[in-house]
Amino acid sequence: MASLHPPSLVCTTCPCFFAFFSFFNYGHILSLLSVVTSHAVLVAVLAALSGLQDRGTGGLGNGWVVLIACVVLVGLFALQHRGTHRVAFVFAPIVVLWLLSIGVIGLYNIIRWNPRVCLALSPHYIVKFFKITGRDGWISLGGVLLAVTGTEAMFADLGHFTAASIRLAFVGVIYPCLVLQYMGQAAFLSKNMSDVHDSFYLSIPRTVFWPMFVLASLAAIVGSQSIISATFSIVKQCLSLGCFPRVKVVHTSRWIYGQIYIPEINWILMVLCLAVTVGFRDINIIGNAYGLACITVMFVTTWLMALVIIFVWKKNILPALSFLVFFGSIEGAYLSASFIKVPQGGWTPIALAFVFMFIMYVWHYGTRRKYLFDLQNKVSMKWILTLGPSLGIVRVPGIGLIYTELVTGVPAIFSHFVTNLPAFHQILVFVCVKSVPVPYVPVDERYLIGRIGPRQYRMYRCIVRYGYKDVQKDDENFENHLVMSIAKFIQMEAEEAASSGSYESSNEGRMAVIHTTDATGTGLIMRDSNEGTSLTRSSKSETLQSLQSIYEQESGGLSRRRVRFQVAEEEQINPQVRDELSDLLEAKEAGVAYIIGHSYVKARKNSNFLKSFAIDYAYSFLRKNCRGPSVTLHIPHISLIEVGMIYYV
């Protein structure tokens, strides 16, 4: 996937050095955001279509090229909802054919125009170049950078392929073809200096111009597709880590993992691309912006990589410092040269970067302040114990799942709810969904179950952990997994209590990892609801059951696997454990309600202007225009209860 846009912008003196440099900086893709993506797509499309201008007097004007580019961009973004797998079968053939073609054309130009250009592979000429050119050579680094900025497209697929496979493809195919192409352009320019404005297309033999033009356009489209898909993946990871407002994530493939589509990001990228295309209309200006964006991301990633070496890999500071000095000095030279291009279009990525940084910072700041408010105002266990086993309210049949961000304690939403409506379900489960900073969490380690208060209170805590690459689907078995996990926790707790000789002892605050794939040791039997007769009498009235069936039919007729549980009669179970399991199953048959806070975040009256603006206006605007937590958590609408609450942070 290398330099998918035609390398018509520059021709480097020593392509070997610069392409090899990009190979070691594949980590910068972790910082790829919409700023780089929009400019990458523009450079790819405009560079491919620039061939329409350079065929003598019959070439199209710049206005027509811009118009055609806008049409291609609109079509490209309009097809994103169909998913990457729709065009994946043509991706590899087009890219391989494109790389081999530019390699062959580069070799042809070397042989025809100047075979001595192969001497440019020697680093000696880099030193000689800077000795002769001096300051002008340093300034030219800003343009030379564009010779390698197309190679980051291949690293966009690190989430779908292994690093070893990408390295093999780079060393075996991409790198040799790039070197041959750039040396071919250098050989062509050594005899045709007047054609420097579009050396790629002008160096192509006329007999193969149109096939190469079509192939370049297709390569630009599939290359842009990979960059856009990578942006979706990175935005999803930022969303999982709480660094980006909640957006709609659509999984476009049922069989291939990780292929997603985010409508809001897609249309924002399209608007940005069209605005920059129509506003600048010059590929050189857009190239300046793209080059500055790429080298800035590389430079920042190098610093972050040094921190990873020290704090994550636990290595000595010397290797990290060596890494930082070696790559940082090279990237620093490129970055300093690129800053000269700021007045010539380089200001665009800087402005867009500040906008996205402001959005992400405000969202993270507001979310963090809201979490701290919950942490400081959580209900004390002493207050709950004074209420008694009934919690001082009416315990109605069913299971109440109270969603909270807290992993310890009882959230303030609980006291707010019972104060206004003194009734709650006979089984209470405080559910906390957490995204942990690892790619994936195994299913067997996803659920952590604990108890809140004494056993007769029937209050539990469930922490559901996801990695930032895990897919949080609308899992129809979540309720069943939850019931099985709680039942298994009850059994495990009883076994530990029996070994200590006191069943009444409660392990308050202790959490246990429950393996949901292993049904043994739960004391329950799970069967399909259509197997035989009803195992447990439902607490729902016939009217409620009728209303639920009508709602499910009107909601699209989604068929869910209905199961029933029963306590295993043949097992020797402690009578008190059997009673607790029976209460759990009775509540499950009565129904499950999802309770979530509908919060309004306000800044305190004594807050300064910046905090008031960030919370009352910016964060409030983002919350109102992003997806609600109930949709993000895939909570069924028929069972949702929202509790309004104001947070003064």
Q: What is the pLDDT of residues 267-297, one digit of tens each?
A: 888 888 888 878 777 777 777 777 787 788 8
Q: To the nearest whole number, what is the mean pLDDT of the chain?
A: 76
Q: What angle, rounded to 10 degrees, do the helices at 34-49 and 347-376 form?
A: 150
**Res. 221 pLDDT band, cuts 50 70 90:** confident
What predicted TM-score, i.e. pTM, was given to this entire model?
Answer: 0.74
Enclosing H/E stretch for 301: helix 283-307
Residue 466 has pLDDT above 80, yes or no: yes
How many angstroms from the chain centroid is the CA of residue 13? Answer: 38
Residue 37 has pLDDT above 70, yes or no: no
Asked whether 151 and 174 are in contact (CB, 8 A), the reply is yes
Q: What is the pLDDT of residues 157-193, one digit of tens each?
A: 555 566 777 788 888 888 888 889 888 988 998 888 8
Return the percentage of the chain with pLDDT > 70, whole number: 75
**Residue 454 sits in which domain range?**
372-497+509-528+568-648
Q: What is the rounded average pLDDT of the residues 542-551?
A: 62
Phi, psi of 504 (to 5 degrees): -75, -15
How confident is the model at residue 336, as a pLDDT?
86
Residue 393 has pLDDT above 60, yes or no: yes
CA distances from 18 to 149, 331, 455, 497 (A): 10, 11, 66, 66
Q: Is residue 448 part of a domain?
A: yes
Residue 9 has pLDDT above 60, yes or no: no
Structure tokens at 72: 């291609």
**Res. 636 pLDDT band, cuts 50 70 90:** confident
402 beta partners: 430, 595
Q: Is residue 426 part of a domain?
A: yes
User: Which range, of 65-79, 186-200, 531-545, averages the lowest pLDDT?
Assistant: 531-545
**Res. 318 pLDDT band, cuts 50 70 90:** very high
**Res. 46 pLDDT band, cuts 50 70 90:** low
DSSP single-letter state for residue 379: B
Q: Is residue 398 part of a domain?
A: yes
Q: Is residue 82 part of a domain?
A: no
Number of domains in the chain: 1
How confident is the model at residue 107, as a pLDDT?
93
Instruction: Give me the residue label for tokens 């190469």.
Output: 212
Residue 60 has pLDDT above 70, yes or no: no
Asked whether 462 and 429 are in contact (CB, 8 A), the reply is yes
Residue 561 has pLDDT above 80, yes or no: no
Contacts (Cβ under 8 Å, ≥6 apart) of 167: 23
Nearest residue to 616 via CA among 634, 628, 604? 604
Q: Is residue 491 part of a domain?
A: yes
How confident is the model at residue 323, as a pLDDT?
93
How confident is the model at residue 29, as a pLDDT?
36
Residue 51 has pLDDT above 50, yes or no: yes
User: Which range, of 435-439, 455-459, 544-548, averages the lowest pLDDT?
Assistant: 544-548
Q: What is the rounded average pLDDT of the residues 389-406?
A: 85
- Please report which residue ranges of 467-601 form alpha helices under DSSP H: 478-500, 542-554, 575-590
Phi, psi of 115 (to 5 degrees): -65, -20
Q: Is residue 49 part of a domain?
A: no
Q: What is the pLDDT of residues 475-533, one digit of tens each?
A: 557 888 888 888 888 888 888 777 765 555 555 567 788 776 665 556 566 555 554 43
SS3 563: strand
How confident is the model at residue 559, as a pLDDT?
46
640 beta partners: 594
Q: Is residue 106 part of a domain?
A: no
| Cβ-based neighbour number of residue 187 at 10 Å | 26
Burial degree of 19 (CB within 10 A; 0-12, 13-18, 19+): buried
**Res. 540 pLDDT band, cuts 50 70 90:** low
CA distances from 524 to 12, 477, 545, 564, 568 (A): 70, 16, 24, 10, 5
Q: What is the pLDDT of residues 244-264, one digit of tens each?
A: 888 888 777 666 666 778 888
Q: Is residue 320 part of a domain?
A: no
Instruction: Give me the residue label for tokens 């497209």.
Output: 153
- Of 290 and 583, the one with more pLDDT: 583
Nearest residue to 106 via CA among 6, 26, 18? 6
User: What gap in Å lies between CA 162 and CA 523, rounded to an integer?
Assistant: 42
Enclosing H/E stretch for 611: helix 609-612
User: Which range, of 538-552, 576-590, 599-613, averages the lowest pLDDT?
Assistant: 538-552
525 beta partners: 566
How confident is the model at residue 554, as a pLDDT?
54
User: What gap in Å lies between CA 477 and CA 92, rounded to an integer?
Assistant: 38
Pairing assessment for the beta strands 511-514 and 447-451 based on DSSP bridges = antiparallel
